[in-house]
Structure 1
Protein backbone atom coordinates (compact mmCIF):
# COMPACT_ATOMS: atom_id res chain seq x y z
CA UNK A 1 0.00 0.00 0.00
CA UNK A 2 1.29 3.43 -0.92
CA UNK A 3 1.70 5.85 1.98
CA UNK A 4 1.26 9.49 0.98
CA UNK A 5 3.00 12.28 2.87
CA UNK A 6 1.21 15.48 3.86
CA UNK A 7 2.58 17.54 0.97
CA UNK A 8 1.50 14.92 -1.57
CA UNK A 9 -1.97 14.90 -0.06
CA UNK A 10 -2.13 18.70 -0.21
CA UNK A 11 -1.13 18.60 -3.88
CA UNK A 12 -3.93 16.13 -4.61
CA UNK A 13 -6.42 18.28 -2.68
CA UNK A 14 -5.39 21.52 -4.35
CA UNK A 15 -5.87 19.99 -7.79
CA UNK A 16 -9.23 18.60 -6.73
CA UNK A 17 -10.47 21.96 -5.43
CA UNK A 18 -9.12 23.78 -8.49
CA UNK A 19 -11.11 21.45 -10.73
CA UNK A 20 -14.42 22.17 -9.03
CA UNK A 21 -16.36 24.29 -11.51
CA UNK A 22 -19.58 26.20 -11.03
CA UNK A 23 -21.16 26.74 -14.44
CA UNK A 24 -24.69 27.47 -13.30
CA UNK A 25 -26.29 30.88 -13.62
CA UNK A 26 -26.35 33.50 -12.29
CA UNK A 27 -22.57 33.58 -12.13
CA UNK A 28 -22.82 36.35 -9.53
CA UNK A 29 -23.98 33.67 -7.06
CA UNK A 30 -21.05 31.35 -7.77
CA UNK A 31 -18.20 33.85 -8.27
CA UNK A 32 -17.74 34.42 -4.51
CA UNK A 33 -17.60 30.64 -4.00
CA UNK A 34 -14.85 30.23 -6.58
CA UNK A 35 -13.06 33.22 -5.05
CA UNK A 36 -12.99 31.90 -1.48
CA UNK A 37 -11.98 28.39 -2.56
CA UNK A 38 -9.18 29.82 -4.74
CA UNK A 39 -7.70 31.64 -1.73
CA UNK A 40 -6.33 28.29 -0.65
CA UNK A 41 -5.67 28.14 3.05
CA UNK A 42 -4.14 25.27 5.00
CA UNK A 43 -6.70 22.66 3.82
CA UNK A 44 -6.17 20.91 7.15
CA UNK A 45 -9.64 19.40 7.42
CA UNK A 46 -9.87 17.69 4.02
CA UNK A 47 -6.25 16.58 4.36
CA UNK A 48 -7.11 14.80 7.59
CA UNK A 49 -9.88 12.84 5.85
CA UNK A 50 -7.40 11.59 3.26
CA UNK A 51 -4.72 10.88 5.86
CA UNK A 52 -7.11 8.82 8.00
CA UNK A 53 -8.22 6.85 4.94
CA UNK A 54 -4.60 6.30 3.92
CA UNK A 55 -3.89 4.51 7.20
CA UNK A 56 -5.82 1.59 5.69
CA UNK A 57 -6.06 2.06 1.91
CA UNK A 58 -4.40 4.09 -0.84
CA UNK A 59 -7.23 4.57 -3.36
CA UNK A 60 -7.65 8.22 -2.36
CA UNK A 61 -10.24 8.90 -5.07
CA UNK A 62 -12.69 6.94 -2.93
CA UNK A 63 -12.52 9.46 -0.09
CA UNK A 64 -12.12 12.66 -2.11
CA UNK A 65 -15.86 13.49 -2.15
CA UNK A 66 -15.72 13.63 1.66
CA UNK A 67 -12.66 15.88 1.49
CA UNK A 68 -14.38 18.25 -0.96
CA UNK A 69 -17.55 18.36 1.15
CA UNK A 70 -15.59 19.21 4.28
CA UNK A 71 -13.52 21.91 2.57
CA UNK A 72 -16.56 23.55 0.96
CA UNK A 73 -18.50 23.40 4.23
CA UNK A 74 -15.59 24.90 6.16
CA UNK A 75 -15.29 27.78 3.71
CA UNK A 76 -19.05 28.33 3.88
CA UNK A 77 -18.67 28.92 7.62
CA UNK A 78 -15.85 31.38 6.95
CA UNK A 79 -18.03 33.50 4.65
CA UNK A 80 -20.66 33.84 7.34
CA UNK A 81 -18.17 34.17 10.22
CA UNK A 82 -16.35 37.03 8.49
CA UNK A 83 -19.66 38.79 7.92
CA UNK A 84 -20.82 38.35 11.52
CA UNK A 85 -17.41 39.41 12.88
CA UNK A 86 -17.13 42.30 10.36
CA UNK A 87 -13.67 40.93 9.51
CA UNK A 88 -12.10 42.73 6.56
CA UNK A 89 -9.57 40.12 5.49
CA UNK A 90 -9.44 36.40 4.84
CA UNK A 91 -6.10 34.75 4.02
CA UNK A 92 -4.57 38.13 3.27
CA UNK A 93 -7.30 39.13 0.77
CA UNK A 94 -10.60 41.00 1.03
CA UNK A 95 -13.32 39.00 2.76
CA UNK A 96 -16.28 38.17 0.49
CA UNK A 97 -18.60 40.71 2.13
CA UNK A 98 -15.96 43.40 1.47
CA UNK A 99 -15.19 42.42 -2.13
CA UNK A 100 -18.89 42.04 -2.93
CA UNK A 101 -21.43 42.85 -0.22
CA UNK A 102 -23.23 41.39 2.80
CA UNK A 103 -26.00 39.81 0.77
CA UNK A 104 -23.50 38.05 -1.49
CA UNK A 105 -21.72 36.57 1.53
CA UNK A 106 -25.01 35.28 2.91
CA UNK A 107 -26.47 33.83 -0.29
CA UNK A 108 -23.23 32.43 -1.74
CA UNK A 109 -22.50 30.92 1.66
CA UNK A 110 -25.91 29.25 1.66
CA UNK A 111 -25.18 27.80 -1.76
CA UNK A 112 -21.84 26.46 -0.49
CA UNK A 113 -23.65 24.41 2.12
CA UNK A 114 -25.78 22.89 -0.66
CA UNK A 115 -22.65 22.23 -2.76
CA UNK A 116 -21.05 20.45 0.22
CA UNK A 117 -23.98 18.04 0.43
CA UNK A 118 -23.84 17.47 -3.34
CA UNK A 119 -20.21 16.38 -2.95
CA UNK A 120 -21.10 14.22 0.03
CA UNK A 121 -23.74 12.43 -2.04
CA UNK A 122 -20.95 11.03 -4.24
CA UNK A 123 -19.81 8.85 -1.33
CA UNK A 124 -19.94 5.08 -1.81
CA UNK A 125 -23.55 4.02 -1.16
CA UNK A 126 -22.86 1.37 1.49
CA UNK A 127 -21.34 3.98 3.83
CA UNK A 128 -23.29 7.04 2.74
CA UNK A 129 -25.89 6.86 5.54
CA UNK A 130 -23.48 6.89 8.54
CA UNK A 131 -21.24 9.42 6.77
CA UNK A 132 -24.23 11.68 6.14
CA UNK A 133 -25.41 11.33 9.75
CA UNK A 134 -22.02 12.30 11.19
CA UNK A 135 -21.59 15.18 8.74
CA UNK A 136 -25.05 16.60 9.55
CA UNK A 137 -24.50 16.21 13.30
CA UNK A 138 -21.15 17.98 12.94
CA UNK A 139 -22.66 20.79 10.84
CA UNK A 140 -25.25 21.43 13.56
CA UNK A 141 -22.55 21.41 16.24
CA UNK A 142 -20.51 23.97 14.30
CA UNK A 143 -23.55 26.26 14.13
CA UNK A 144 -24.12 25.77 17.89
CA UNK A 145 -20.50 26.75 18.49
CA UNK A 146 -20.89 29.91 16.43
CA UNK A 147 -24.08 30.81 18.32
CA UNK A 148 -22.27 30.44 21.66
CA UNK A 149 -19.42 32.54 20.29
CA UNK A 150 -21.80 35.36 19.41
CA UNK A 151 -23.60 35.16 22.75
CA UNK A 152 -20.31 35.28 24.64
CA UNK A 153 -19.60 38.72 23.12
CA UNK A 154 -22.40 40.17 25.30
CA UNK A 155 -21.45 38.34 28.49
CA UNK A 156 -18.81 39.21 31.08
CA UNK A 157 -19.17 35.97 33.05
CA UNK A 158 -18.07 33.42 30.45
CA UNK A 159 -16.08 30.63 32.10
CA UNK A 160 -13.04 28.84 30.70
CA UNK A 161 -15.06 25.61 30.54
CA UNK A 162 -17.80 27.31 28.52
CA UNK A 163 -15.19 28.70 26.16
CA UNK A 164 -13.54 25.31 25.66
CA UNK A 165 -16.93 23.74 24.90
CA UNK A 166 -17.62 26.51 22.39
CA UNK A 167 -14.37 25.92 20.49
CA UNK A 168 -14.90 22.16 20.65
CA UNK A 169 -18.15 22.72 18.76
CA UNK A 170 -17.05 25.52 16.48
CA UNK A 171 -13.66 24.11 15.47
CA UNK A 172 -12.68 20.72 16.87
CA UNK A 173 -15.68 18.61 15.82
CA UNK A 174 -15.03 19.24 12.12
CA UNK A 175 -11.47 17.92 12.45
CA UNK A 176 -12.80 14.89 14.32
CA UNK A 177 -15.46 14.39 11.65
CA UNK A 178 -12.90 14.54 8.82
CA UNK A 179 -10.71 11.90 10.44
CA UNK A 180 -13.56 9.59 11.41
CA UNK A 181 -15.22 9.77 8.00
CA UNK A 182 -11.93 9.04 6.26
CA UNK A 183 -11.55 5.97 8.48
CA UNK A 184 -15.18 4.91 7.90
CA UNK A 185 -14.76 5.02 4.12
CA UNK A 186 -11.65 2.83 4.47
CA UNK A 187 -13.54 0.23 6.54
CA UNK A 188 -11.72 0.86 9.82
CA UNK A 189 -13.02 -0.67 13.04
CA UNK A 190 -15.35 1.41 15.22
CA UNK A 191 -12.61 1.56 17.86
CA UNK A 192 -10.09 3.01 15.40
CA UNK A 193 -12.63 5.46 13.96
CA UNK A 194 -13.52 6.69 17.46
CA UNK A 195 -9.86 7.00 18.47
CA UNK A 196 -9.19 9.09 15.35
CA UNK A 197 -12.21 11.23 16.17
CA UNK A 198 -10.81 11.86 19.68
CA UNK A 199 -7.43 12.68 18.15
CA UNK A 200 -9.18 15.27 15.98
CA UNK A 201 -11.07 16.77 18.91
CA UNK A 202 -7.94 17.28 21.01
CA UNK A 203 -5.83 18.54 18.13
CA UNK A 204 -8.74 20.79 17.13
CA UNK A 205 -8.85 22.34 20.60
CA UNK A 206 -5.09 22.92 20.44
CA UNK A 207 -5.52 24.34 16.92
CA UNK A 208 -8.10 26.95 18.00
CA UNK A 209 -6.20 27.93 21.14
CA UNK A 210 -3.13 28.42 18.95
CA UNK A 211 -5.19 30.48 16.49
CA UNK A 212 -6.39 32.72 19.33
CA UNK A 213 -2.81 33.11 20.51
CA UNK A 214 -1.57 34.02 17.03
CA UNK A 215 -4.36 36.58 16.70
CA UNK A 216 -2.58 38.55 19.43
CA UNK A 217 1.05 37.46 19.15
CA UNK A 218 1.35 36.36 15.53
CA UNK A 219 3.21 37.95 12.63
CA UNK A 220 0.80 39.81 10.28
CA UNK A 221 2.96 38.78 7.31
CA UNK A 222 2.31 35.07 7.92
CA UNK A 223 -0.95 34.99 9.87
CA UNK A 224 -3.13 36.14 6.95
CA UNK A 225 -5.52 38.12 9.15
CA UNK A 226 -5.27 41.43 10.94
CA UNK A 227 -3.48 40.99 14.26
CA UNK A 228 -5.68 41.94 17.20
CA UNK A 229 -8.96 41.26 15.42
CA UNK A 230 -10.34 39.31 18.37
CA UNK A 231 -9.47 42.16 20.73
CA UNK A 232 -11.23 44.71 18.54
CA UNK A 233 -14.36 42.51 18.40
CA UNK A 234 -14.33 41.93 22.19
CA UNK A 235 -14.21 38.18 21.54
CA UNK A 236 -14.16 36.08 24.68
CA UNK A 237 -11.04 34.08 23.92
CA UNK A 238 -9.10 31.97 26.42
CA UNK A 239 -6.77 34.95 26.95
CA UNK A 240 -9.60 37.45 27.43
CA UNK A 241 -11.62 35.24 29.79
CA UNK A 242 -8.60 34.66 32.01
CA UNK A 243 -7.89 38.39 32.09
CA UNK A 244 -11.47 39.09 33.17
CA UNK A 245 -11.06 36.74 36.12
CA UNK A 246 -8.35 39.00 37.54
CA UNK A 247 -9.96 41.86 39.50
CA UNK A 248 -7.45 44.56 38.51
CA UNK A 249 -7.46 43.51 34.87
CA UNK A 250 -11.26 43.42 34.85
CA UNK A 251 -11.29 47.11 35.83
CA UNK A 252 -8.82 47.95 33.06
CA UNK A 253 -10.65 45.95 30.40
CA UNK A 254 -14.19 47.14 31.11
CA UNK A 255 -13.75 50.67 29.68
CA UNK A 256 -12.38 49.21 26.45
CA UNK A 257 -15.44 47.00 26.12
CA UNK A 258 -17.73 50.01 26.43
CA UNK A 259 -15.87 52.35 24.07
CA UNK A 260 -17.20 52.68 20.54
CA UNK A 261 -14.81 55.41 19.44
CA UNK A 262 -11.16 54.46 19.83
CA UNK A 263 -7.88 54.06 17.97
CA UNK A 264 -7.57 50.39 17.03
CA UNK A 265 -3.83 50.23 17.65
CA UNK A 266 -4.26 51.79 21.09
CA UNK A 267 -6.87 49.23 22.17
CA UNK A 268 -4.83 46.29 20.88
CA UNK A 269 -1.73 47.55 22.70
CA UNK A 270 -3.57 48.16 25.99
CA UNK A 271 -5.24 44.75 26.06
CA UNK A 272 -2.07 42.93 24.99
CA UNK A 273 -0.17 44.60 27.84
CA UNK A 274 -2.75 43.22 30.29
CA UNK A 275 -2.23 39.74 28.85
CA UNK A 276 1.53 40.15 29.23
CA UNK A 277 1.25 41.25 32.86
CA UNK A 278 -0.76 38.11 33.66
CA UNK A 279 1.59 35.79 31.71
CA UNK A 280 -1.40 34.56 29.72
CA UNK A 281 0.68 33.72 26.64
CA UNK A 282 2.58 31.14 28.67
CA UNK A 283 -0.61 29.82 30.31
CA UNK A 284 -2.23 29.38 26.90
CA UNK A 285 0.83 27.62 25.49
CA UNK A 286 0.74 25.17 28.41
CA UNK A 287 -2.91 24.28 27.71
CA UNK A 288 -2.14 23.83 24.01
CA UNK A 289 0.60 21.39 25.00
CA UNK A 290 -1.85 19.44 27.19
CA UNK A 291 -4.34 18.98 24.35
CA UNK A 292 -1.51 18.01 22.02
CA UNK A 293 -0.50 15.23 24.41
CA UNK A 294 -4.11 14.02 24.71
CA UNK A 295 -4.35 13.94 20.94
CA UNK A 296 -1.18 11.89 20.61
CA UNK A 297 -2.48 9.50 23.27
CA UNK A 298 -5.65 8.94 21.21
CA UNK A 299 -3.61 8.38 18.04
CA UNK A 300 -1.50 5.81 19.88
CA UNK A 301 -4.66 3.69 20.28
CA UNK A 302 -5.26 3.37 16.53
CA UNK A 303 -4.41 -0.20 15.59
CA UNK A 304 -2.11 0.33 12.62
CA UNK A 305 1.69 0.44 12.54
CA UNK A 306 3.56 3.44 13.91
CA UNK A 307 5.13 4.02 10.51
CA UNK A 308 1.67 4.36 8.94
CA UNK A 309 0.71 6.95 11.56
CA UNK A 310 3.94 8.94 11.13
CA UNK A 311 2.35 11.67 9.01
CA UNK A 312 -0.44 12.24 11.55
CA UNK A 313 2.08 12.45 14.39
CA UNK A 314 4.08 14.94 12.32
CA UNK A 315 0.92 16.93 11.55
CA UNK A 316 0.10 17.24 15.26
CA UNK A 317 3.66 18.30 16.04
CA UNK A 318 3.72 20.92 13.28
CA UNK A 319 0.49 22.32 14.65
CA UNK A 320 2.29 23.10 17.88
CA UNK A 321 4.94 25.23 16.19
CA UNK A 322 2.99 26.90 13.38
CA UNK A 323 3.02 30.67 12.94
CA UNK A 324 0.08 31.01 10.56
Structure 2
Protein backbone atom coordinates (compact mmCIF):
# COMPACT_ATOMS: atom_id res chain seq x y z
CA UNK A 1 0.00 0.00 0.00
CA UNK A 2 1.24 3.48 -0.88
CA UNK A 3 2.28 5.17 2.37
CA UNK A 4 0.64 8.41 1.19
CA UNK A 5 -2.75 6.74 1.60
CA UNK A 6 -2.20 5.55 5.18
CA UNK A 7 -3.73 8.69 6.87
CA UNK A 8 -6.80 8.43 4.59
CA UNK A 9 -7.23 4.71 5.24
CA UNK A 10 -6.92 5.18 8.99
CA UNK A 11 -9.32 8.12 8.96
CA UNK A 12 -11.96 6.07 7.12
CA UNK A 13 -11.49 3.12 9.47
CA UNK A 14 -11.85 5.46 12.46
CA UNK A 15 -15.12 6.80 11.06
CA UNK A 16 -16.34 3.24 10.40
CA UNK A 17 -15.64 2.26 14.03
CA UNK A 18 -17.44 5.37 15.27
CA UNK A 19 -20.51 4.88 13.11
CA UNK A 20 -20.88 1.14 13.72
CA UNK A 21 -20.75 1.86 17.45
CA UNK A 22 -23.36 4.62 17.07
CA UNK A 23 -25.78 2.23 15.33
CA UNK A 24 -24.95 -0.74 17.54
CA UNK A 25 -23.99 -2.84 14.51
CA UNK A 26 -21.57 -4.94 16.54
CA UNK A 27 -24.42 -6.32 18.61
CA UNK A 28 -25.56 -9.81 17.63
CA UNK A 29 -29.12 -8.66 17.10
CA UNK A 30 -30.51 -5.57 15.39
CA UNK A 31 -32.77 -3.09 17.18
CA UNK A 32 -33.62 -5.46 20.06
CA UNK A 33 -35.01 -7.98 17.56
CA UNK A 34 -34.18 -11.62 16.83
CA UNK A 35 -32.45 -10.68 13.57
CA UNK A 36 -28.82 -10.07 12.73
CA UNK A 37 -27.84 -7.11 10.55
CA UNK A 38 -27.52 -9.40 7.51
CA UNK A 39 -30.92 -11.01 8.12
CA UNK A 40 -32.63 -7.66 8.58
CA UNK A 41 -31.08 -6.36 5.35
CA UNK A 42 -32.12 -9.45 3.37
CA UNK A 43 -35.67 -9.13 4.70
CA UNK A 44 -35.71 -5.46 3.70
CA UNK A 45 -34.46 -6.13 0.17
CA UNK A 46 -36.99 -8.92 -0.42
CA UNK A 47 -39.68 -6.39 0.43
CA UNK A 48 -38.20 -3.73 -1.84
CA UNK A 49 -36.85 -5.46 -4.97
CA UNK A 50 -39.32 -6.13 -7.77
CA UNK A 51 -39.36 -9.80 -8.84
CA UNK A 52 -36.76 -10.50 -6.17
CA UNK A 53 -34.53 -13.55 -6.67
CA UNK A 54 -31.51 -14.93 -4.85
CA UNK A 55 -29.35 -13.75 -7.74
CA UNK A 56 -30.59 -10.16 -7.33
CA UNK A 57 -29.95 -10.30 -3.59
CA UNK A 58 -26.40 -11.55 -4.14
CA UNK A 59 -25.74 -8.73 -6.62
CA UNK A 60 -27.27 -6.07 -4.38
CA UNK A 61 -25.82 -7.16 -1.04
CA UNK A 62 -22.54 -8.76 -2.18
CA UNK A 63 -23.43 -11.63 0.14
CA UNK A 64 -22.09 -15.20 0.11
CA UNK A 65 -24.58 -17.44 -1.78
CA UNK A 66 -24.40 -20.23 0.82
CA UNK A 67 -25.00 -17.81 3.68
CA UNK A 68 -27.93 -16.24 1.82
CA UNK A 69 -29.44 -19.66 1.17
CA UNK A 70 -29.37 -20.47 4.89
CA UNK A 71 -31.01 -17.12 5.73
CA UNK A 72 -33.82 -17.64 3.22
CA UNK A 73 -34.47 -21.22 4.40
CA UNK A 74 -34.67 -19.95 7.98
CA UNK A 75 -37.11 -17.22 6.91
CA UNK A 76 -39.32 -19.82 5.21
CA UNK A 77 -39.33 -22.00 8.33
CA UNK A 78 -40.45 -18.97 10.35
CA UNK A 79 -43.20 -18.19 7.85
CA UNK A 80 -41.67 -14.84 6.87
CA UNK A 81 -41.08 -15.50 3.16
CA UNK A 82 -42.20 -17.81 0.38
CA UNK A 83 -41.03 -18.53 -3.16
CA UNK A 84 -42.76 -19.01 -6.52
CA UNK A 85 -41.10 -20.57 -9.57
CA UNK A 86 -40.61 -18.14 -12.44
CA UNK A 87 -42.89 -18.75 -15.42
CA UNK A 88 -40.13 -17.54 -17.75
CA UNK A 89 -37.20 -19.49 -16.30
CA UNK A 90 -37.84 -22.69 -14.37
CA UNK A 91 -34.47 -22.39 -12.66
CA UNK A 92 -35.43 -19.14 -10.92
CA UNK A 93 -37.67 -18.59 -7.92
CA UNK A 94 -39.17 -15.22 -7.01
CA UNK A 95 -39.08 -14.37 -3.31
CA UNK A 96 -41.92 -12.64 -1.46
CA UNK A 97 -42.75 -11.60 2.09
CA UNK A 98 -45.69 -13.19 3.85
CA UNK A 99 -48.08 -11.03 5.85
CA UNK A 100 -46.07 -11.93 8.95
CA UNK A 101 -42.85 -11.00 7.14
CA UNK A 102 -44.24 -7.61 6.13
CA UNK A 103 -45.42 -6.99 9.69
CA UNK A 104 -41.97 -7.73 11.11
CA UNK A 105 -40.26 -5.63 8.45
CA UNK A 106 -42.56 -2.71 9.29
CA UNK A 107 -41.60 -3.00 12.98
CA UNK A 108 -37.89 -3.12 12.09
CA UNK A 109 -38.27 -0.04 9.89
CA UNK A 110 -40.10 1.85 12.62
CA UNK A 111 -37.42 0.91 15.17
CA UNK A 112 -34.68 1.97 12.77
CA UNK A 113 -36.39 5.31 12.11
CA UNK A 114 -36.70 5.91 15.84
CA UNK A 115 -33.04 5.03 16.39
CA UNK A 116 -31.89 7.56 13.79
CA UNK A 117 -34.32 10.15 15.14
CA UNK A 118 -32.80 9.81 18.60
CA UNK A 119 -29.37 10.40 17.06
CA UNK A 120 -30.31 13.63 15.28
CA UNK A 121 -33.06 15.16 17.40
CA UNK A 122 -30.54 17.07 19.54
CA UNK A 123 -28.90 18.64 16.49
CA UNK A 124 -29.88 22.09 15.28
CA UNK A 125 -31.52 22.32 11.85
CA UNK A 126 -28.36 23.49 10.08
CA UNK A 127 -26.31 20.69 11.66
CA UNK A 128 -28.92 18.14 10.56
CA UNK A 129 -28.64 19.36 6.98
CA UNK A 130 -24.84 19.38 7.11
CA UNK A 131 -24.89 15.80 8.43
CA UNK A 132 -27.14 14.68 5.57
CA UNK A 133 -25.09 16.52 2.97
CA UNK A 134 -21.89 14.97 4.33
CA UNK A 135 -23.39 11.51 4.06
CA UNK A 136 -24.55 12.24 0.54
CA UNK A 137 -21.05 13.36 -0.40
CA UNK A 138 -19.64 10.09 0.98
CA UNK A 139 -22.22 8.12 -1.01
CA UNK A 140 -21.48 10.11 -4.15
CA UNK A 141 -17.72 9.66 -3.77
CA UNK A 142 -17.88 5.89 -3.22
CA UNK A 143 -20.78 4.87 -5.48
CA UNK A 144 -20.58 4.29 -9.19
CA UNK A 145 -23.55 6.61 -9.72
CA UNK A 146 -21.69 9.78 -8.72
CA UNK A 147 -19.99 11.83 -11.40
CA UNK A 148 -16.57 10.45 -12.28
CA UNK A 149 -13.68 11.75 -14.36
CA UNK A 150 -15.12 10.22 -17.51
CA UNK A 151 -18.67 11.45 -16.95
CA UNK A 152 -19.98 14.36 -18.98
CA UNK A 153 -21.73 17.20 -17.13
CA UNK A 154 -23.49 19.99 -18.97
CA UNK A 155 -26.26 22.53 -18.56
CA UNK A 156 -28.72 22.99 -21.40
CA UNK A 157 -31.55 25.47 -21.84
CA UNK A 158 -33.37 23.82 -24.73
CA UNK A 159 -36.80 22.58 -23.64
CA UNK A 160 -37.46 19.06 -24.93
CA UNK A 161 -40.52 16.77 -24.83
CA UNK A 162 -40.58 14.80 -21.59
CA UNK A 163 -38.48 17.29 -19.61
CA UNK A 164 -41.36 18.68 -17.60
CA UNK A 165 -42.83 15.23 -16.95
CA UNK A 166 -39.52 14.17 -15.44
CA UNK A 167 -39.34 17.32 -13.29
CA UNK A 168 -42.82 16.56 -11.94
CA UNK A 169 -41.62 13.04 -11.10
CA UNK A 170 -38.52 14.39 -9.33
CA UNK A 171 -40.58 16.83 -7.26
CA UNK A 172 -43.15 14.19 -6.29
CA UNK A 173 -40.54 11.58 -5.39
CA UNK A 174 -37.99 13.77 -3.59
CA UNK A 175 -40.47 15.78 -1.54
CA UNK A 176 -42.35 12.63 -0.49
CA UNK A 177 -39.12 10.82 0.40
CA UNK A 178 -37.36 13.67 2.20
CA UNK A 179 -40.20 15.85 3.47
CA UNK A 180 -43.22 13.48 3.69
CA UNK A 181 -45.33 15.65 1.38
CA UNK A 182 -48.42 13.86 0.10
CA UNK A 183 -49.91 13.37 -3.38
CA UNK A 184 -51.61 16.77 -3.23
CA UNK A 185 -48.18 18.40 -3.55
CA UNK A 186 -47.45 16.51 -6.76
CA UNK A 187 -50.83 17.63 -8.09
CA UNK A 188 -49.91 21.19 -7.18
CA UNK A 189 -46.63 20.89 -9.12
CA UNK A 190 -48.55 19.59 -12.15
CA UNK A 191 -50.88 22.57 -11.99
CA UNK A 192 -48.03 25.09 -11.76
CA UNK A 193 -46.59 23.70 -15.00
CA UNK A 194 -50.01 23.68 -16.67
CA UNK A 195 -50.59 27.32 -15.73
CA UNK A 196 -47.08 28.23 -16.85
CA UNK A 197 -47.44 26.77 -20.33
CA UNK A 198 -50.64 28.72 -20.94
CA UNK A 199 -48.45 31.82 -21.30
CA UNK A 200 -45.00 30.39 -22.01
CA UNK A 201 -42.75 32.81 -23.86
CA UNK A 202 -39.18 31.76 -24.68
CA UNK A 203 -38.19 35.44 -24.80
CA UNK A 204 -38.87 35.97 -21.09
CA UNK A 205 -39.00 32.44 -19.61
CA UNK A 206 -36.14 29.95 -19.46
CA UNK A 207 -35.23 26.53 -18.12
CA UNK A 208 -31.80 25.20 -17.21
CA UNK A 209 -31.34 21.43 -17.06
CA UNK A 210 -28.25 19.95 -15.38
CA UNK A 211 -27.32 16.68 -17.09
CA UNK A 212 -24.81 13.93 -16.39
CA UNK A 213 -24.17 11.69 -19.39
CA UNK A 214 -27.32 13.04 -21.02
CA UNK A 215 -29.60 12.32 -18.05
CA UNK A 216 -31.33 15.13 -16.16
CA UNK A 217 -30.12 15.36 -12.55
CA UNK A 218 -31.40 18.85 -11.70
CA UNK A 219 -33.14 21.93 -13.00
CA UNK A 220 -34.16 25.52 -12.36
CA UNK A 221 -36.39 27.98 -14.21
CA UNK A 222 -37.13 31.68 -14.50
CA UNK A 223 -40.66 32.86 -15.25
CA UNK A 224 -41.02 36.44 -16.43
CA UNK A 225 -43.74 38.67 -14.97
CA UNK A 226 -44.90 42.23 -15.55
CA UNK A 227 -43.17 45.29 -14.07
CA UNK A 228 -39.69 43.84 -14.62
CA UNK A 229 -40.26 41.07 -12.08
CA UNK A 230 -39.16 37.46 -12.47
CA UNK A 231 -39.96 34.32 -10.50
CA UNK A 232 -37.45 31.59 -9.75
CA UNK A 233 -39.19 28.21 -9.91
CA UNK A 234 -38.76 24.41 -9.88
CA UNK A 235 -35.23 24.44 -8.44
CA UNK A 236 -34.40 20.78 -7.77
CA UNK A 237 -31.41 18.45 -7.68
CA UNK A 238 -31.26 14.66 -7.47
CA UNK A 239 -29.94 13.63 -4.01
CA UNK A 240 -27.03 11.66 -5.49
CA UNK A 241 -25.64 14.78 -7.14
CA UNK A 242 -25.75 17.19 -4.23
CA UNK A 243 -22.59 18.57 -2.72
CA UNK A 244 -20.95 18.93 -6.16
CA UNK A 245 -21.77 22.62 -6.79
CA UNK A 246 -24.38 21.71 -9.42
CA UNK A 247 -27.12 23.53 -7.54
CA UNK A 248 -24.97 26.63 -7.12
CA UNK A 249 -24.18 26.65 -10.84
CA UNK A 250 -27.86 26.42 -11.75
CA UNK A 251 -28.75 29.23 -9.35
CA UNK A 252 -25.97 31.44 -10.74
CA UNK A 253 -27.16 30.83 -14.30
CA UNK A 254 -30.72 31.84 -13.40
CA UNK A 255 -29.69 35.04 -11.57
CA UNK A 256 -27.31 36.05 -14.36
CA UNK A 257 -30.09 35.58 -16.92
CA UNK A 258 -32.38 37.87 -14.92
CA UNK A 259 -29.72 40.59 -15.00
CA UNK A 260 -29.19 40.19 -18.73
CA UNK A 261 -32.95 40.43 -19.36
CA UNK A 262 -33.22 43.61 -17.34
CA UNK A 263 -35.39 42.25 -14.55
CA UNK A 264 -35.35 44.50 -11.50
CA UNK A 265 -36.59 41.98 -8.96
CA UNK A 266 -36.53 38.19 -8.57
CA UNK A 267 -38.81 36.38 -6.13
CA UNK A 268 -39.31 32.77 -5.16
CA UNK A 269 -41.64 30.76 -2.96
CA UNK A 270 -40.46 27.92 -0.74
CA UNK A 271 -41.19 26.32 2.62
CA UNK A 272 -39.28 26.87 5.83
CA UNK A 273 -38.13 23.22 5.95
CA UNK A 274 -35.96 23.73 2.83
CA UNK A 275 -33.10 25.05 4.94
CA UNK A 276 -30.25 24.12 2.62
CA UNK A 277 -31.87 25.85 -0.36
CA UNK A 278 -32.80 28.87 1.74
CA UNK A 279 -29.19 29.20 2.88
CA UNK A 280 -28.14 29.23 -0.79
CA UNK A 281 -30.73 31.88 -1.61
CA UNK A 282 -29.66 34.13 1.22
CA UNK A 283 -26.00 33.88 0.22
CA UNK A 284 -27.07 35.28 -3.17
CA UNK A 285 -28.83 38.21 -1.51
CA UNK A 286 -32.42 36.98 -1.27
CA UNK A 287 -34.36 38.21 1.76
CA UNK A 288 -37.59 36.90 3.26
CA UNK A 289 -40.52 39.26 2.65
CA UNK A 290 -43.60 37.19 3.56
CA UNK A 291 -44.81 33.89 4.98
CA UNK A 292 -48.04 32.03 5.62
CA UNK A 293 -49.17 28.64 6.90
CA UNK A 294 -49.93 25.73 4.58
CA UNK A 295 -51.64 22.51 5.67
CA UNK A 296 -52.59 21.09 2.28
CA UNK A 297 -49.58 18.82 1.59
CA UNK A 298 -49.98 16.35 4.43
CA UNK A 299 -48.20 18.26 7.19
CA UNK A 300 -48.10 21.65 8.86
CA UNK A 301 -45.83 23.96 6.87
CA UNK A 302 -44.91 27.60 6.61
CA UNK A 303 -44.61 28.86 3.04
CA UNK A 304 -42.17 31.73 2.61
CA UNK A 305 -41.48 34.29 -0.10
CA UNK A 306 -37.97 35.59 -0.76
CA UNK A 307 -36.93 38.50 -2.99
CA UNK A 308 -33.70 39.65 -4.61
CA UNK A 309 -33.34 43.22 -5.86
CA UNK A 310 -31.06 43.48 -8.89
CA UNK A 311 -30.96 47.29 -9.17
Q: Normalising by the residue count of structure 1, what TM-score does the alignment of the two structures yield?
A: 0.27
More helix by share: 1
Question: Which one has the largest radius of gyration?
Answer: 2
More strand by share: 2
Where relative contact order (Cα < 8 A, 6+ residues apart) is larger, the structure is 1
